[in-house]
């Protein structure tokens, strides 16, 4: 198991790390993507997809066996300490945690993520991650903890959240934040909408002041808008979205040519 990966190398060099998300619960999809591309990290989405801890183990094996230099990250469905511990015990090296709205919540997440003395993560000798040399001694230094800022309350408390020891940075959730703040009607132009731009600037300033990472999950042209806004960790697509795009473009174009240019 590689504790230091391409993601760490790019971030340490001051570059933007790019990754890919998975929601299909398909080890084959993970293997295929990692055989044909070299993302700096992957994010398994156990929040919005029906992915159990057992499923997450199979997805992790697929990732590690195909590309050990892509950091495996999981988005857990909640703040539950047992979900967090099981994902880390499997060997995931990063956590995205939804809907963090206070420093108190962030501190609880950090306590669950790190081994003592930095946190209160339980130590067990039989976990999968313990198969890796020096795991317990080194994991605190390399694990990534990214609470999500995706609500008005989270935005109002972002300075306190990023100041929490053990929080690596925060992951901006553009869609949920825009819904909660009443900006839904501006979704198509969100990255140029002044209130959203101001919110992103506030989050970035908070991160920069504490030497923390600003992250997000977006796709298409929004990737480059996010990068220009100072985001240094970007999950650029998800398997379901990539499949939908492929079907809507390449497959439909082929069908139209097969049918002699007919539109249906």
Listing DSSP states for 214-258 in one string gives EEEE--TTHHHHHHHTT--EEEEEEHHHHHHHHIIIIIHHHHHHH
- Which pLDDT belongs to residue 262? 57
Q: Catalytic: which of 8, 10, 48, 225?
A: 48
Arithmetic mean of pLDDT, 95-104: 99
Arithmetic mean of pLDDT, 142-161: 98
pLDDT of residue 200 exceeding 70: yes
Average pLDDT for the chain:
94
With a pLDDT cut of 70, the percent of the chain lying above it is 95
Q: Give catalytic status of residue 48 as yes or no.
A: yes
Helix and strand totals (H; E) in the chain = 13, 8
- Which pLDDT belongs to residue 145? 99
User: Which residue, 69, 66, 72, is CA-closest to 44?
Assistant: 72
**Domain boundaries 9-258, corresponding CATH code:** 3.20.20.60
Q: Summarize pLDDT for 205-264 with one digit per residue, the tens.
A: 999 999 999 999 999 999 999 999 999 999 999 999 988 888 888 888 898 899 986 555
**What confidence tier does 124 reach under pLDDT thresholds 50, 70, 90?**
confident
- Which pLDDT belongs to residue 132? 64
pLDDT of residue 10 exceeding 90: yes
**Cα 72 from Cα 41, distance rounded (Å):** 6
**Cα 214 from Cα 250, distance rounded (Å):** 34
Cα distances (angstroms) measured from residue 158 to each of 47, 227, 232, 244: 22, 20, 17, 34
- CA angle at residue 26 from 24 to 28, to 5 degrees? 135
**What confidence tier does 126 reach under pLDDT thresholds 50, 70, 90?**
confident
- Which pLDDT belongs to residue 123? 86
- Which pLDDT belongs to residue 1? 65
**Cα 100 from Cα 119, distance rounded (Å):** 18
pLDDT of residue 56 exceeding 60: yes
């Amino acid at each position: 198991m590689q504790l230091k990966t391409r993601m760490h190398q790019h971030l340490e060099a001051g570059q933007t790390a790019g990754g890919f998300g998975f929601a299909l619960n398909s080890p084959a999809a993970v293997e295929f993507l990692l055989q044909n591309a070299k993302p700096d990290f992957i994010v398994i989405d156990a929040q919005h997809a029906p992915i159990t801890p057992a499923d997450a183990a199979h997805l992790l094996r697929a990732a590690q066996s195909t590309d050990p230099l892509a950091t495996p990250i999981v988005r857990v469905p909640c703040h539950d300490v047992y979900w967090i511990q099981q994902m880390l015990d499997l060997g995931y090296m990063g956590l995205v945690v939804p809907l963090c709205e206070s420093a108190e919540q962030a501190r609880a997440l950090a306590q669950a993520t790190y081994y003592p003395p930095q946190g209160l993560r339980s130590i067990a000798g039989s976990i999968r991650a313990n198969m890796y040399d020096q795991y317990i001694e080194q994991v605190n230094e390399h694990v990534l903890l990214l609470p999500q800022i995706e609500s008005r309350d989270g935005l109002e408390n972002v300075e306190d959240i990023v100041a929490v020891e053990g929080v690596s940075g925060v992951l901006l959730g553009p869609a949920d934040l825009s819904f909660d703040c009443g900006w839904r009607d501006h979704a198509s132009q969100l990255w140029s909408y002044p209130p959203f731009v101001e919110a992103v600037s506030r989050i970035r300033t908070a991160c920069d002041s504490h030497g923390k990472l600003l992250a997000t999950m977006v796709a298409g042209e929004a990737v480059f808008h996010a990068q220009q806004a100072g985001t240094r960790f970007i999950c650029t697509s998800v398997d379901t979205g990539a499949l939908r795009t492929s079907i809507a473009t390449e497959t439909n174009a082929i069908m139209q040519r097969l049918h002699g240019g007919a539109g249906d």
